[in-house]
Amino acid sequence: GRTPTPGDLEVSHLTFRYSDQTRKPALRDVSLTFARGRSYALIGRTGSGKSTLAKVLTRAVDIPRGTVFLGGTDLLDLDLEELRRWIAVVPQRTEILAGTLAENIALFDPSLLHRAAEAVAELGLTAWVAELPGGLATRLGDGGHVLSAGQEQLVAFSRIMVRDPQVVILDEATARLDPVTEARVQQATDRLLAGRIGIIVAHRLSSVQQCDEVVVLADGAVVEAGPLASS
Ligand code: ATP
Ligand code: MG
């Protein structure tokens, strides 16, 4: 596999149909440019194709050659495992594993353990970690310390941050957060997306306002794409 040059993420005339989808395709002739350093709110009704687009961009589904490019390189020419480090997805639900917070952040990859503290600091979460009973050594999952849904998101962000990807896709959780956690999630989101390509499948109005651009999907097609007028 090749290392992509840092650059834009481009989708060109992509039509995608799930193999068991007999009628209309999930994505229809989608063309979009996601520019480095900018963040995009991806919105649309249920079934409009938001999650499918996220799957396409990580090659979680098969796509035709010549439809998606990262830094000018066809996604199909990139090593799949590496690709998933360059284009990272924060899922809607975070799975917490039995282990320490640091192990959860590194996903038990010994070569990433030493990056956990750094990632937490880069996200502005040092104070939050200090409030936990054992800091980065706090045991989570399976009888360990229990995190709130919002705190689980902070773990998910830290997991992405240690891997330093070029593109971050955030499938935002719908859960209500307490004000303190909400503020932390907001700040961590900003820091996670800074200097990268950020794509937020937005469920909260607040994150839409933070984004530079908005993309609206309807029935698998892009019906609107452009800069968000800031207040
Ligand atoms: P939501 O807001 O509910 O998460 P979405 O915008 O993410 O919706 P998708 O999940 O991308 O929508 O679905 C787009 C279309 O593709 C829908 O018609 C859906 O039924 C269909 N679809 C999604 N996943 C599959 C699958 N695994 N197999 C077949 N069809 C699918
Ligand atoms: Mg979805």
Q: What is the pLDDT of residues 104-161, one digit of tens each?
A: 999 999 999 999 999 999 999 999 999 999 999 999 999 999 999 999 999 999 999 9
Cα end-to-end span (Å), the chain: 43
Beta strands in the chain (DSSP E): 9-16, 27-34, 39-43, 68-70, 73-74, 87-90, 99-100, 139-140, 167-171, 197-201, 213-218, 221-227
- pLDDT of 161 reads 96
The alpha carbon of 27 and the centre of ligand 2 are apart by a number of angstroms equal to 13
Number of domains in the chain: 1
**Ligand 1 interacting residues, C-beta cut-off 6 A:** 18, 20-21, 26, 44, 46-52
Range of the domain at 164: 9-227
Q: Of 229, 230, 231, 220, nearest to 32 (Cα)?
A: 220
pLDDT at 72: 93
Average pLDDT score, the chain: 92
Tell me, yes or no, whether 4 lies in a domain: no
Closest residue by CA, ligand 1 atom 17: 47
Give me the residues paired with residue 73 across strands. Answer: 70
Whether 3 maps to a domain, the answer reads: no
Residue 54 alpha carbon, nearest atom of ligand 1 = 11
**CATH number for the domain harbouring residue 160:** 3.40.50.300
Cα–ligand 1 centroid distance for 84 (angstroms): 21
Q: Which ligand is nearest to the CA of 60?
A: 1
Q: For residue 55, which of 81, 84, 33, 32 has the smallest C-alpha distance?
A: 84
- On the question of pLDDT at 3 being above 70, the answer is no
What confidence tens digit (pLDDT) does each residue in 46-99 have?
Answer: 999 999 999 999 999 999 999 999 999 999 999 998 898 899 998 878 999 999
Tokens at residue 54, please? Answer: 């996220």
* Residue bearing the CA closest to ligand 1, atom 1: 46
Which atom of ligand 1 lies closest to the CA of 51?
Answer: 7
Is the residue at 2 inside a domain?
Answer: no
Q: Is residue 47 a part of any domain in this protein?
A: yes
Instruction: Tell me if 145 is assigned to some domain.
Output: yes
Cα 127 to averaged position of ligand 2 atoms, centre (Å): 32
Residue (of 10, 30, 38, 44) closest to 202 by Cα position: 44
Per residue in 52-62, pLDDT (tens digit) is 999 999 999 99
Closest by CA position to 138, among listed 130, 150, 127: 130
- How much is the pLDDT for 202? 87
